[in-house]
């Protein structure tokens, strides 16, 4: 595959992963990975600016009444919190339906008197696009005094966990802000027109001097401080327990806990949120911290604390991270393509671990979230793609080897090369081998005395039989040069004794030649004779030739000497017409029978070489 096409693979994988993560069904994978960062970080200590007044089990035990409580109790709560110095009182309790007129009026008038209360309402979103939203504000008595109020809408992700805070909802194109936003505005302004000081800008919501980063149009990511119970809580009963309120659950005992609270200063200049924390009132939600579900009032407290501390949770710029991912994938792809799969797998694990560590550090140090699962999936897919390309390259290499060698090499040697392609050097390398040359005596004269058809047919029969003998004995057919055969032994796969293999092939070729001559005589055909020369030594072996055409062959003095030995067969009277050099004999002297012929200087060699006739293989 061309290099520029290979570069398309990481880019296409990047686009594929980004596309599939557009579907909400896969969001939960990323959510779970990012949730683990919260759990690793653990609980952080919030400031003392936010206090929760909890409607808890102790409250129900002390008051000994059922929910909802009489609104006189809530009026008393506002009075006592204000006397204790509370800066803002925020109810995560909805007063959207009327009860007794005098109780409703008492609650509304008390809130107006202290002018530091935020009440709760909600916007019910239509379940279908054609259904209108429904606005549910506090009761008319509260609205008549223009008392600040906010919505308590709580939205969850696809896995039902609350990770984002609803800053506002639009109803009839008018924004209705959450009680958290209202509390922040009221705590700074104490004005009836507090909502006029809230503005939505391009990427944040401006609340007085606070600029809250926006996520998904009208939400903010919540940078949780801890699981349920992280914020300081005071029992609702303890706040209203003064000398004017009877506490039936105390069985006549007078504790008057409010006075100790007021004297401690725990409520002085605090934003106080009032809400239910017990399970029976069903105002609890799962959060990234896990464990017990967190009450709605604590989620509001986490948001307010985050804004007061300007400790916003942000997502990394999507385009910047896309560019970084693309650069990372290209580098990793380049590295994976050059490493063995085992090393690539190890590197993959290291990269995934490092990427998670980077995500953790960015979260801890900068409150920035980056994709975790997406990047890990990309790295895994890049690794798989590199394995596939490695496999295809290996198959291509094996096809090349098989096509290049199956016509002139023993099948078992081809199999060895397929198992260990590195044994096949691209180019040339110096190796010790044995070369065998075989040639037909006076073949030019033979071809002149016979028709081309006869010459071609008998040559085909002869060459086919000889090549079979070579391949059957683990040699490779290097080439045909007319009627001459050149065979190599000990390459490209090493043999224990390539010289002995060559000698066996020469003797077997002699036997086969005798059989062919007998068959031709029986058919009335004229036969011919052959001569064989064998030499052993070092030669340059490999894929040699030009860039356009190359061949697996061997070159050097060893090859030249082998060819000369074959040609001088006609000079000496030998039984089997097989001559071997002293260099070959050194490798096979314990295994063969030979007859010394001469010490000759062959063409191209200055030093005389001892030559021998090969007679047979010893038992």
pLDDT at 425 over 60: no
Task: Yes or no: say if 301 and 120 are a contact pair by the CB < 8 Å rule.
Answer: no
pLDDT for res 538: 92
Contacts of 455 by beta carbon, 8 Å cutoff, 6+ apart: 446, 447
pLDDT for res 83: 95
pLDDT at 124 over 70: yes
More confident site: 451 or 393: 451
The percent of residues above 90 in pLDDT, for the chain, comes to: 58
Residues 33-58 have pLDDT tens digits of 999 999 999 999 999 999 999 999 99
Point out which residues pair with 206 in neighbouring strands: 199, 211
d(CA 325, CA 382): 12
Mean pLDDT, residues 251-264: 89
In which residue are the tokens 């006029």 written? 196
d(CA 505, CA 353): 59
Residues 65-81 have pLDDT tens digits of 999 999 999 999 999 99
Phi, psi at residue 85, to the nearest 5°?
95, 15
Burial class of 42 by CB neighbour count within 10 A (0 to 12, 13 to 18, 19+):
exposed
What distance lies between CA 389 and its chain's CA centroid? 16
pLDDT-wise least confident of 212-221, 292-301, 414-423: 414-423
Mean pLDDT, residues 586-614: 88
DSSP letters spanning 157-170: -TTS---EEE-EEE
Peptide bond before residue 492 is cis, with ω within 30 degrees of 0: yes
Categorize the per-residue pLDDT at 416 as very low, low, confident or very high, splitting at 50, 70 and 90: low
Categorize the per-residue pLDDT at 450 as very low, low, confident or very high, splitting at 50, 70 and 90: confident
pLDDT for res 444: 80
Pairing of strands 50-55, 233-235: parallel
Three-state DSSP state, 362: helix
d(CA 526, CA 528): 7
Phi, psi at residue 432, to the nearest 5°?
-90, 125
pLDDT at 399 over 70: no
pLDDT for res 191: 59
d(CA 438, CA 533): 7
pLDDT for res 590: 92
d(CA 276, CA 279): 8
pLDDT for res 129: 64
Q: Of 293-307, 394-408, 433-447, which has the strongest mean pLDDT?
A: 293-307
pLDDT at 307 over 70: yes
Task: Yes or no: say if 427 and 531 are a contact pair by the CB < 8 Å rule.
Answer: no
Residues 498-532 have pLDDT tens digits of 999 999 999 999 999 999 999 999 998 888 999 99
Categorize the per-residue pLDDT at 591 as very low, low, confident or very high, splitting at 50, 70 and 90: very high
User: Mean of the per-residue pLDDT values for the chain?
Assistant: 88
pLDDT for res 527: 87
pLDDT for res 402: 60
Three-state DSSP state, 132: coil
Mean pLDDT, residues 115-121: 94
pLDDT for res 22: 83
pLDDT at 410 over 60: no
CB atoms near residue 587 (< 10 Å): 19
d(CA 339, CA 273): 59
Contacts of 55 by beta carbon, 8 Å cutoff, 6+ apart: 93, 236, 274, 275, 276, 277, 278, 281
Categorize the per-residue pLDDT at 533 as very low, low, confident or very high, splitting at 50, 70 and 90: very high
Contacts of 350 by beta carbon, 8 Å cutoff, 6+ apart: none
d(CA 571, CA 573): 7
User: Of 231, 233, 351, 237, which Cα lies nearest the Cα of 302?
Assistant: 231
CB atoms near residue 128 (< 10 Å): 5
d(CA 91, CA 592): 108
pLDDT for res 2: 55
d(CA 379, CA 308): 39
Is residue 398 left, alpha or beta, with left meaning phi > 0 and alpha meaning psi from -120 to 50?
alpha
pLDDT-wise least confident of 102-111, 351-360, 388-397, 483-492: 388-397
3-state helix, strand, coil in the chain (%, to 5): 45, 25, 30
Residues 553-573 have pLDDT tens digits of 888 888 899 989 998 888 898
Residues recorded for the chain: 619
Three-state DSSP state, 437: strand
What distance lies between CA 259 and its chain's CA centroid? 61
Categorize the per-residue pLDDT at 605 as very low, low, confident or very high, splitting at 50, 70 and 90: low
Task: Yes or no: say if 152 and 92 are a contact pair by the CB < 8 Å rule.
Answer: yes
What distance lies between CA 148 and its chain's CA centroid? 50
d(CA 180, CA 207): 11
pLDDT for res 472: 86
pLDDT for res 251: 82
pLDDT for res 24: 76
Task: Yes or no: say if 334 and 316 are a contact pair by the CB < 8 Å rule.
Answer: no
pLDDT at 63 over 90: yes
Categorize the per-residue pLDDT at 595 as very low, low, confident or very high, splitting at 50, 70 and 90: very high
Phi, psi at residue 226, to the nearest 5°?
170, 180
d(CA 543, CA 424): 9
User: Of 255, 286, 280, 293, which Cα lies nearest the Cα of 55?
Assistant: 280
pLDDT-wise least confident of 39-43, 212-216, 421-425: 421-425
Mean pLDDT, residues 252-264: 90
pLDDT for res 551: 66
Contacts of 441 by beta carbon, 8 Å cutoff, 6+ apart: 528, 529, 530, 531, 569, 570
DSSP letters spanning 58-122: HHHHHH--PSSPPHHHHHHHHHHHHHTT-SEEEEEEE--S---HHHHHHHHHHHHHH--EEEEEE
Task: Yes or no: say if 227 and 285 are a contact pair by the CB < 8 Å rule.
Answer: no
CB atoms near residue 232 (< 10 Å): 14
Peptide bond before residue 58 is cis, with ω within 30 degrees of 0: no
């Amino acid at each position: 595959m061309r290099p520029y096409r290979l570069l398309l693979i990481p880019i296409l994988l990047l686009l594929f992963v980004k596309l599939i993560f557009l579907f909400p069904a896969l969001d939960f994978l990323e959510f779970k990975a990012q949730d683990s960062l919260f759990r690793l970080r653990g609980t952080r200590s919030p400031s003392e600016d936010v206090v929760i007044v909890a409607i808890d089990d102790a409250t129900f035990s002390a008051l000994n009444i059922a929910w909802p409580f009489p609104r006189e109790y809530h009026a008393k709560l506002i009075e006592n919190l204000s006397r204790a110095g509370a800066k803002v009182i925020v109810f995560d309790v909805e007063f959207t339906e009327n009860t007794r007129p005098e109780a409703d009026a008492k609650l509304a008038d008390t809130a107006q008197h202290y002018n530091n209360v935020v009440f709760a309402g909600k916007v019910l979103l239509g379940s279908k696009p054609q259904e209108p939203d429904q606005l549910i504000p506090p009761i008319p008595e509260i609205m008549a005094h223009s008392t600040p109020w906010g919505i308590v809408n709580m939205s969850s992700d696809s896995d039902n966990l609350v990770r984002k805070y609803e800053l506002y909802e639009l109803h009839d194109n008018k924004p209705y802000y959450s009680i958290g936003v209202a509390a922040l505005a009221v705590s700074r302004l104490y004005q009836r027109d507090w909502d006029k000081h809230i503005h939505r800008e391009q990427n944040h919501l401006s609340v007085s001097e606070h600029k809250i980063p926006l996520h998904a149009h009208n939400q903010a990511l919540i940078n949780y401080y801890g699981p349920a119970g992280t914020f300081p809580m005071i029992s609702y009963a303890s706040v209203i327990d003064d000398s004017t309120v009877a506490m039936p659950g105390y069985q006549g005992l007078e504790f008057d806990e409010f006075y100790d609270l007021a004297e401690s200063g725990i409520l002085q200049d605090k934003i106080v949120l009032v809400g239910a924390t017990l399970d029976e009132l069903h105002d609890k939600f799962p959060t990234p911290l896990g464990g017990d579900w967190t009450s709605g009032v604590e989620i509001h407290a986490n948001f307010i604390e985050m804004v007061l501390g300007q400790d916003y949770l942000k997502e990394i710029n999507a385009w910047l991270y896309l560019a970084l991912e693309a650069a990372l994938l290209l580098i990793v792809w380049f590295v994976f393509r050059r490493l063995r799969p085992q090393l690539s797998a190890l590197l993959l694990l290291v990269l995934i671990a490092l990427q998670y560590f980077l995500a953790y550090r960015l979260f801890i140090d900068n409150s920035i979230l980056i994709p975790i699962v997406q990047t890990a999936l990309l790295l895994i897919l890049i690794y798989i793609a590199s394995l596939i390309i490695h496999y295809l390259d290996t198959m291509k290499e094996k096809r090349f080897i098989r096509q290049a060698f199956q016509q002139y090499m023993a099948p078992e040697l081809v199999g060895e090369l397929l198992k260990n392609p590195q044994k096949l050097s691209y180019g040339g390398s110096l190796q010790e081998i044995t070369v065998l040359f075989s040639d037909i005596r006076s073949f030019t004269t033979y071809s002149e005395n016979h028709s081309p058809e006869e010459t071609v047919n008998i040559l085909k029969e002869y060459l086919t039989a000889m090549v079979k003998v070579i391949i059957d004995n683990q040699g490779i057919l290097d080439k045909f040069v007319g009627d001459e055969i050149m065979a190599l032994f000990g390459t490209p796969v090493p043999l224990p004794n390539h010289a002995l293999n060559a000698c066996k092939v020469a003797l077997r070729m002699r036997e086969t030649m005798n059989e062919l001559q007998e068959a031709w005589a029986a058919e009335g055909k004229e036969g011919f004779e052959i001569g064989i020369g064998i030499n052993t030594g070092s030669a340059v072996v490999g894929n040699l030739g030009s860039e356009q055409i190359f061949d697996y062959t061997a070159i050097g003095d060893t090859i030249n000497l082998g060819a000369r030995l074959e040609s001088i067969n006609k000079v000496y009277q030998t039984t089997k017409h097989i001559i071997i050099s002293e260099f070959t004999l050194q490798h096979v002297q314990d295994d063969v029978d030979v007859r010394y012929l001469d010490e000759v200087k062959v063409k191209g060699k200055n030093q005389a070489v001892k030559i021998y006739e090969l007679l047979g293989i010893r038992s």
